[in-house]
């Protein structure tokens, strides 16, 4: 059981961010997702139906 807990801890450990990652690309992706969710909720609040 102790071995299982140790393996679970290593899988759940938060890894450090790679400094070679393009930060601007990640910011763009996050902003795009936020805009998408905001648009989805706007359509739901105003009862706008898209498609059939």
Which has more pLDDT, 52 or 43? 43
What would the pLDDT profile of 5-36 be if each residue is shown by its tens digit?
888 888 888 777 777 888 888 899 999 999 99
**Residue ranges of the domains in the chain?**
21-52
pTM recorded for the entire structure: 0.57
**In the predicted structure, residue 42 carries a pLDDT above the cut 90:** yes
Q: Is the pLDDT of residue 49 over 70?
A: yes
Helical H segments across 1-52, by residue range = 2-12, 23-45
Residues present in the chain in total: 52
pLDDT at residue 52 tops 90 = no
Closest listed residue to residue 46, CA positions, set 15, 27, 38: 38
């Amino acid at each position: 059981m102790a071995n299982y807990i140790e393996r679970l801890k290593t899988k759940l450990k938060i890894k450090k961010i790679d400094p070679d990652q393009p930060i601007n690309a990640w910011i763009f992706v996050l902003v795009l997702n936020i805009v998408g969710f905001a648009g989805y909720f706007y359509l739901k609040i105003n009862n706008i139906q898209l498609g059939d």
